[in-house]
Structure 1
Amino acid sequence: MPWVTHLSRAIVLPRYPPTGGGITRLNIRDLPDATCDLLKRVNAPPRLVAHLALVHDAAADLLRALHTRWRNLAIDDAAVLFGAATHDVGKVLHPAELVGSGTAHEQDGPRLLEQLGAPPEWARFARTHGTWKQETSPAVEDLIVALADTCWKGKRNEELEGMLAARIAESQGVDRWEAVAAVDEIVAEIANRADERLAWQNRHPI
């Protein structure tokens, strides 16, 4: 299955499921066709699909901003976008975690994605979006997916942002505090309008 995606702006609502009447000014990117097909196969509920669309959209914004700031920054964009668009798919196996806390979906998500045909190196994001702190030297891609899953709702995580900034500073040969300030600015911009995003997500049934 061709796990391909893009960064361009698209239709306001996720193509799956048909929801009707979204908040058009949010201009949320479509989920990629391959991801929509995957979510249909596991019968993902509308609220989960909406959440994945929002995190995917935040990840695309992060990538665009990071590449604009550091044009030589090496990131596997396709992997990040797939990871953002599928990171919580394990919740279809643990419905209680759709509305409550829990980490069982992080353990079972990668296995489910692999069973559906996703490569292991991309399926891992279903785990690392929540376990990045425990991972041994998480990749930049893991940090970006975790950050997208955090900042879309206006939440900030200084440790996570600092880890990403440190990786960027090292790879780009810039001062760490310069990278910290840049990441802070980028995330602050994306964290805006969190209330609208949350309201849009919560309009979808569980």
Structure 2
Amino acid sequence: MSTHTLLARAMADEVGPPLRALPARVVELLSSLGSPPRLAAHLRAVHDVAHQLVDRLEECCPAATFDREAVLFGAATHDIGKTLHPEELSGPGSAHEEAGRALLLAHGFGPESARFAATHASWTRPHIGLEDLIVSLADKIWKNKRVTDLEELVVTRLAEASGRAVWEEFMALDEVLARIGDEADARLAFQSCFPVHG
């Protein structure tokens, strides 16, 4: 099967768990960059999890204000710098973070959209918005990785917005994360069906 076909399947086809397709503008960008199919599969899985998170947050904490579309775009592009650093698809590294931000800016996306490529692994920086925290959370929970300090930051923001006790917000978020985490094996299997290199 050609790399182009694999990439198209990773971004939109129903070839595994029912994952939402990536947004059209992200599909166009990944196609033009010749993205590794595994990267597209990963972005799709995280994008789908971000959808689940924002749907639930809007339902259970309507007082928390965040830009839904920004979160979904951020989740769909957070690792796009790995098109330039494909070695980071199968190994450690953070060169893709700033490279991804610069790549998105170079392709006409504004700083508010491009920022997620740089912030998704830096949630402890000052002035990180709730949108950035949600993208970071989606990038962890898609594979059922629980990160206590990240979750505490999200819970604190939700409690500040809702006026409810921190423990109440924690219980609500924990339930959502556990449910999403239960489906991690299917997402991991989906991602592993696609090659790291074209």
Partner of 1:8: none
Asked if structure 2 preserves the Cα contact closer than 8 Å seen for 1:16 and 1:36, the reply is no
Runs of 4+ in 1 over 2 A off after TM superposition: 18-21
For 1:21 and 1:140, the matched residues in 2 are separated by: 31
For 2:123 and 2:64, the matched residues in 1 are separated by: 20
Asked if structure 2 preserves the Cα contact closer than 8 Å seen for 1:73 and 1:168, the reply is yes
- Does 1:121 find its partner at 2:112? yes
Offset at 1:86? 0.3
Please point out which of 32, 41, 56 is paired with 1:65.
56
Please point out which of 19, 22, 30 is paired with 2:15.
22
Q: Specify the code of the residue in structure 2 equivalent to 1:125.
A: F
Q: Kindly tell me the number of residue pairs found equivalent between the two proteins.
A: 190
Q: Specify the code of the residue in structure 2 equivalent to 1:93.
A: L
Q: Specify the code of the residue in structure 2 equivalent to 1:168.
A: L
Percent identity over paired residues:
46
Higher helix residue share: 2
- Does 1:199 find its partner at 2:189? yes
For 1:137 and 1:124, the matched residues in 2 are separated by: 12
Relative to structure 1, is the Cα distance of residues 77 and 21 closer, same or farther in structure 2, using a 3 angstrom cutoff? closer
For 1:34 and 1:123, the matched residues in 2 are separated by: 13
For 2:171 and 2:153, the matched residues in 1 are separated by: 13
Please point out which of 131, 134, 137 is paired with 1:147.
137
Partner of 2:3: none
For 1:132 and 1:114, the matched residues in 2 are separated by: 21
Structure 1 gap ranges (5+): 1-14
Offset at 1:16? 4.8
Please point out which of 72, 78, 81 is paired with 1:81.
72
If asked which structure has higher relative contact order (CA below 8 Å, sep 6+), I would say 2
Q: How does 1:1-206 map to 2 (within 5 A)?
A: 16-18=7-9, 22-23=15-16, 26-133=17-124, 135-206=125-196
For 2:15 and 2:54, the matched residues in 1 are separated by: 24
For 2:160 and 2:139, the matched residues in 1 are separated by: 24
Relative to structure 1, is the Cα distance of residues 164 and 184 closer, same or farther in structure 2, using a 3 angstrom cutoff? same
Q: Specify the code of the residue in structure 1 equivalent to 2:31.
A: K
Structure 2 gap ranges (5+): 1-5
Q: Specify the code of the residue in structure 2 equivalent to 1:147.
A: L
TM-score by length of 1: 0.88
Offset at 1:22? 1.3
1:18 partner SS = helix
TM-score by length of 2: 0.91
